[in-house]
Structure 1
């Protein structure tokens, strides 16, 4: 459940379930909030599961489990994946290193499973894993003026300019950690982490103090990230092989990718995939799972679609055959074949670029 439901309600929020967690869906005008982020800044409560990893062997243990290098230095982080023995994505993760622990953000419905799985594999290593989701509030600040927004309320620190790095300071006299995000909304972005008992005051300060910022919910987050060309866990990543998604920022190709006691071959994740993720501008709004056709042949399916507030037209992400000739595509919408054209990602250029933009060799 959201930590700041009462504050959401004062702003007129409606709620929805995501990953078993009750989160703010929107505040009455999601398109207006979307445009506020593109032009100035917005604030949202992030739906993460949170793990804390302590013990002398914590970095080595997590590094051996995930697809990317876990940084050793305080104040740095990485984006990484957990894969199954077939190389498919089980979980995506953000991992941040402090002097005495790792802070790991997971999709909300994956925190307990990851904590349980890892706890069974520590063997004689000095590692302690705790599901600390209820101990932390995490708020996203995104927008063309997100840096100015954060700077206007943050004391005793200056927002970091490097992606996935963080500083410690205060907001409204509450201690916070401020992480520079990786551009998932296509705009400058930060995540503000605080203790659960000060979450309401921090969220209120982010909205009302300093530079103006509009509250927004997951509906706006989904439209922002689609315009930015960002694949999300529940709609694009879960169960896929990373190279199908062009998800190169999560992989360190100089290391083996350990999954339990299995090692997933680096070659398997570097070769040409059978499918790729593309952007479609559509004649009408398709449903997730809608078939994509080239002539009479099914060549893929839509993973997510929105009515774009910035472009004022239906946009979609779709997984299609890798070597597909993209001329003359259609998408089945309400039982009819409707025209769709492939467009380069991102659909919208903002103040930052998503680190998850599909990249294929």
Structure 2
């Protein structure tokens, strides 16, 4: 991919890792977080991938394979959907918005080609066409439509193709493991606008002229972590189930059956206790060490009758998936830990040769129980 025009803006520092290719920050990630949170700034998400599906069968076809109900998606409506393997593990995550003729799927850039290949193999005789449009289209993000309009005003006859994140909305037919009281999703209002890649230079010009402010990926990631919002590129591995990341609340229609992985979704939901669980960690910032993704999370097992002079046994109970310095919370991280780790157990993160103390906030509770009042889902292949 060509360099983003945003990298030529004053103070731009390239991001690293999964977001390489766009700006990580422009000199002050903390100030940029506040701008973004207030809806005054845009963020370059041109590192995302875009796959389009056209044809009269596009929505019913996607509906048949995805975890989300998409068959009746109206023009301009947004949805999030997962594509699972037969064992219920997450393979692809897509942000879906349909403009009446085309279903636009925003995904991680590294997943665009695999996603397009998977969908193309599943076309059979249906009237659909799948195209990887990452080279021609890009994504701008913001917490308000006003900021996006200031950067790239819609043409007189044009309609913005905006995906509005459903994370902060309680959707009927979904399930949230996390406690409703005080859930930070209410502060997360991300909008992803799909634009021709050639217009990214116009958005950069709008920033230079002062029509809108800018924030980097570090600012967006800090707000995402604080909102407990999972992401494919960071929180997901080859064993991830939607339940472990509390993804049932935005990406899974529990009244929908007959898609690959559906039986595992129903089984884990009905029996309770996902094998692992997502937690937010408040980190000790006294050593100014911010853990990196993949760093081990340690729990100490203390004997009922400790032996004098004997150190507690240390056990690896999980790993860091994302971390950031938040403008209000300080150093925080998301981590996936074993189900059996008590919710009140103090944890340690081994990072850069240093032990970082961590206090956990349960997202998926350790005692997550079987769901109640959830409709029983049909078995795959069952006749009505």
Q: Distance in 1 between matches of 2:354 and 2:210?
A: 50
Q: CA deviation at 1:135?
A: 1.7
Q: Distance in 2 between matches of 1:45 and 1:101?
A: 23
Higher-Rg member (1/2) = 2
The question of 1:37 aligning with 2:23 is answered no
> What's the counterpart of residue 10 of structure 1?
9
Maintained 8 Å contact 1:51/1:103 = yes
| Deviation string, structure 1 residues 291-331 (Cα, Å, up to 9, x no partner) | 231433433232222232222x3212122233432334121
Maintained 8 Å contact 1:229/1:357 = no
SS of equivalent to 1:122: coil
> What's the counterpart of residue 158 of structure 1?
none
SS of equivalent to 2:278: strand
Q: Distance in 2 between matches of 1:293 and 1:174?
A: 55
Compared CA separation, residues 230 and 357, structure 1 to 2 (3 A): farther
**More strand per residue: 1 or 2?**
1
Q: Distance in 1 between matches of 2:151 and 2:44?
A: 17
Q: CA deviation at 1:129?
A: 0.4
Compared CA separation, residues 50 and 197, structure 1 to 2 (3 A): same
The question of 1:316 aligning with 2:333 is answered yes
Q: CA deviation at 1:183?
A: 5.7
SS of equivalent to 2:135: helix
Compared CA separation, residues 153 and 220, structure 1 to 2 (3 A): closer
> What's the counterpart of residue 292 of structure 2?
287
Q: CA deviation at 1:43?
A: 0.9
Maintained 8 Å contact 1:257/1:265 = no
| Deviation string, structure 1 residues 230-280 (Cα, Å, up to 9, x no partner) | 122122124311011111111011222523xx7644423413202211111
Which stretches in structure 2 are left out of the alignment for 5+ residues? Answer: 169-184, 302-312, 370-384
TM-score (norm 2): 0.75
The question of 1:68 aligning with 2:53 is answered no
> What's the counterpart of residue 373 of structure 2?
none
The question of 1:220 aligning with 2:219 is answered yes
Compared CA separation, residues 24 and 344, structure 1 to 2 (3 A): same
1:269-280 to structure 2, matched below 5 A, reads 269-270=268-269, 271-280=272-281
Maintained 8 Å contact 1:24/1:217 = yes
Maintained 8 Å contact 1:280/1:315 = yes
Maintained 8 Å contact 1:256/1:266 = no
1:1-361 to structure 2, matched below 5 A, reads 1=1, 5-16=4-15, 18-19=17-18, 22-46=21-45, 47-70=47-70, 71-142=72-143, 146-150=144-148, 169-170=154-155, 176-182=160-166, 186-205=187-206, 208=209, 210=211, 213-239=212-238, 240-248=240-248, 249-256=250-257, 258-259=259-260, 264-270=263-269, 271-284=272-285, 285-288=290-293, 289-295=295-301, 296=313, 297-311=315-329, 313-331=330-348, 332-335=350-353, 337-343=355-361
Maintained 8 Å contact 2:25/2:217 = yes
Q: CA deviation at 1:206?
A: 6.2
Maintained 8 Å contact 1:226/1:316 = yes
> What's the counterpart of residue 164 of structure 1?
none
Compared CA separation, residues 16 and 118, structure 1 to 2 (3 A): same
Maintained 8 Å contact 2:42/2:147 = no
Q: Distance in 2 between matches of 1:233 and 1:316?
A: 16
Q: How many residues are aligned here?
A: 328
RMSD, matched Cα: 3.2
Q: CA deviation at 1:83?
A: 1.0
Q: Distance in 2 between matches of 1:231 and 1:23?
A: 20
Maintained 8 Å contact 1:44/1:141 = yes
Which stretches in structure 1 are left out of the alignment for 5+ residues? Answer: 156-168, 346-355
Q: Distance in 2 between matches of 1:357 and 1:137?
A: 37
Compared CA separation, residues 118 and 306, structure 1 to 2 (3 A): same
